[in-house]
């Protein structure tokens, strides 16, 4: 393992969620563990293409991940678990995920190996981004925070940040999320406030996501998803060019 990494995947997980969690249909820990395991295995295979330097899988339910660690753990794949669900019930569960990210830096040697110009790619751990290497390869590479934004709403399935992005924004997110309001709404407002101190890019290559949503158990990509994704890819290239011009 090199001392510094360019691109690290951070797979967030809650294998055994709290009972009566609002807007969460998939709660069975065996079902969730299977989905997380399948996704992790997929990303390990995807890593062979060379765009991904390391993978950090982090569970915040305190689940015993010994079997996962034995099967998948190696120098460039960390499997971590701690209990981080002891927050007030009135908080949106996005608070728990952002707290997971911050605590992951305390537990992970790999996250501490990101180079100055490298990036961490946060991915919801049950989802397989079938074109993850293309997302990394073709997205904007000059950013502190990279995400999909649309009319004040931020997609949480995948987004990325640099060391500066973490220290200037990501590290402080839990303090801003102590409410029922979802991070999808709160974080875009914070990005506007931080626009003079960090470089925010929306030029993220369209992710093709395979998996079922935890909120309703339905396929993430949905009906006509292949067509919508193809159109999004076609629209991406001129959009990236225009964004690049305005960043200069």
1 pLDDT higher than 50: no
CA–chain centroid gap for 205, Å, is 14
Domain region containing 174: 5-247
Query: Of 136, 116, 124, 174, whose CA–CA distance to 49 is shortest?
Result: 136
Is residue 123 within 8 Å of residue 161, measured between CB atoms? Answer: no
Report, as an integer, the average pLDDT of 57-82.
98
How does residue 4 score in pLDDT terms, banded at 50, 70 and 90?
low
d(CA 132, CA 122): 12
Mean pLDDT is lowest, of 10-19, 20-29, 53-62, 192-201, for 20-29
Overall size of the chain counted in residues: 248
Cβ-contact 222, 211 below 8 angstroms: no
Give the CATH number, domain containing residue 226. Answer: 3.90.550.10
Q: Which two tokens stand for residue 201?
A: 């890019």
User: What's the Cα-to-Cα distance from 234 to each of 213, 228, 230, 243, rounded to whole Å?
Assistant: 26, 10, 6, 15
Does residue 2 have a pLDDT over 80?
A: no
Closest CA to 83 of 53, 110, 62: 62
Calpha distance 63→59 (Å, rounded): 7
Q: Does position 176 have pLDDT exceeding 50, yes or no?
A: yes
- SS3 label, residue 27: coil
Quote the pLDDT of residue 215. 82
How many domains are there within the chain?
Answer: 1
């Amino acid at each position: 393992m090199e001392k510094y990494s360019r691109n690290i995947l951070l797979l967030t997980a809650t294998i055994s969620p709290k009972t009566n969690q609002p807007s969460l249909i998939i709660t069975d820990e065996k079902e969730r563990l299977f989905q997380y395991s399948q996704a992790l295995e997929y990303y390990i295979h995807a890593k062979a293409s060379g765009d991904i330097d390391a993978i950090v899988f982090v569970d915040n339910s305190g689940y015993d991940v010994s079997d996962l660690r034995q099967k998948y753990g190696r120098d460039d794949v960390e499997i971590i678990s701690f209990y981080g669900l002891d927050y007030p019930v009135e908080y949106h569960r996005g608070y728990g995920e952002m707290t997971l990210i911050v605590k992951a830096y305390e537990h992970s040697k790999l996250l501490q190996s990101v180079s100055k110009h490298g990036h961490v790619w946060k991915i919801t751990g049950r989802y397989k981004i079938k074109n993850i290497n293309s997302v990394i390869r073709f997205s904007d590479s000059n950013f502190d925070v990279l995400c999909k934004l649309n009319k004040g709403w931020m997609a949480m399935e995948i987004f990325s940040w640099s060391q500066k992005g973490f220290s200037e924004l990501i590290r402080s997110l839990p303090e801003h999320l102590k409410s029922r309001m979802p991070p999808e709404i709160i974080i875009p407002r914070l990005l506007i406030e931080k626009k003079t101190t960090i470089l925010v890019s929306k030029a993220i290559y369209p992710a093709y996501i395979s998996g079922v949503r935890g909120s309703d158990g339905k396929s993430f990509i949905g009906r006509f998803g292949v067509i919508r994704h193809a159109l999004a890819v076609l629209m991406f290239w001129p959009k990236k060019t225009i964004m690049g011009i305005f960043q200069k």
